[in-house]
Amino acid sequence: MGTFAVINPATGETLAEYPDATAEEIESALTSAQKAYKEWARTTTVAERAALAQRAAELFDERKDELGAIINREMGKPLDQSVGEAEFSGAITAAFAKNAEKWLADEQLEVEDGLRSFFRFQGTGVILGIMPWNYPYYQVARFAVPNLILGNTVILKHAAQCPESALALEKIFRDAGFPEGAYVNVFATHEQLADIIADDRIQGVSLTGSERAGAIVAEQAGRHLKKCVLELGGSDVFLVLDTADVDHAVEHAVGGRMENTGQACNGSKRIVVMDKHFDEFAEKFKAAIAGQSYESGDFGPLSSSQATETLSKQVKSAIDQGAEVLVGSTEPEGNVFTPTVLANITPSMDVYSQELFGPVAQLYKVSSDEEAVELANSSPYGLGSVVICDDLERAERVGNQLDVGMVFIGAAGLEGADVPFGGVKKSGYGRELGKVGMLEFANKKLFRFAE
């Protein structure tokens, strides 16, 4: 079997296989992307490119049911969430199209000598995107769309289990009117990716994936002086400090942990609750997690047998080292992993510093804000966080002390189509979405006039 294949995680059935790219196909991708950059991206306006993106946004919505069915069978996401991802991808695409001229307008500089000076934001060339399986459309939209509007062209290598969503995305951009070479899908192997990164026609690399993959790509890119944006793992904290509505806190903790069957980089993986609320919260949280139903579509199978094996080993190791299972089962049925809550976790356990990519929550009790912050910051990751506290000034004060890239106060799921996303520490660097995301691979070209 080749690298790229559709294997339905609900059944284990191999539905389709696609051959790896040949050396000739890789060269063709590089050639066409470079040609499109020179002949299209550099000769069109932001408004013209944004208009094509707006059409792509419409196609995401028009094809949402078809797109949803594809990723449902590729990586097991419940169908309503799959369709929702296609819709959100369209909303992201539309947001970039709507705001592009404003976000890319010349930035006037106030300089001491008074000379007229400004930044102009332009493309730099061909950008390589290496994208993951957990959000096959959303991750690509937030990377590719701003670069295309900015004036870059894109070569996209998708996850091995997502060949059909990869092809569907390429078709959307072509049908929207982007010319040949503006967005090119390649079924590249890891070895071919190293060669692509080294090629002088590539000006930057954006990767969303594991810490290990990020380290490899960053090393390869650094060796060839290519800029990187890395969105890697996370073990996000969900802090419950003080609230008159524990039910609200439980609802958002469950939502934050169970979104995409727990396979979200910024999912709420560590639930940290102040002692005054702990007993009530724990009982309600356990009941809510236990009430999640596979048959009703609350969650789906894990994305692959490898994902199931990895999570199972992590949970069993935690139990062997003394963690307690409050809810759930450590024995998956195929790739269906019962939603689970672990407690009594100590810093000496491996799971304390691991990312659990699946429907498994860690539950902690703390007795002060200082203890909560210390626990939160003990993770090697620093992607997002949620702070539940009726005193918003206290919530902001605690959030200010968290070593993370994002703080959501009062609720989980506060992502937005035009809201920047990214982290610190081993969660990577750089940002996607919003104006800051649009400028990651921009040439911030300085203009100065003598008089």
DSSP SS3 for 445? strand
Which has the closest alpha carbon to 85: 128, 139, 159? 139
DSSP 355: -
Structure tokens at 369: 């804000």
Measured CA to CA, the distance from residue 401 to residue 399 in angstroms comes to 5
Sequence-separated (6 or more) residues with CB below 8 Å from residue 287: none
- Cβ-contact 381, 233 below 8 angstroms: yes
265 catalytically annotated: yes
Q: How far apart are CA 361 and CA 314, in angstroms?
A: 12
* Residue 162 bears catalytic tag: no
Q: Which of 164, 170, 231, 259 is the catalytic position? A: 231
Q: Which of 74, 265, 355, 440 is catalytic?
A: 265
- What gap in Å lies between CA 34 and CA 264, rounded to an integer? 33
CA angle 20, 142, 138 (to 5 degrees): 70
- Residue 431: closest CA among 399, 400, 406: 406
H runs (alpha helix) in 131-240: 138-150, 163-175, 190-198, 211-223
Q: Exposure of 420 by Cβ count < 10 A (0-12 exposed, 13-18 middle, 19+ buried)?
A: middle
List residues with catalytic annotation: 231, 265
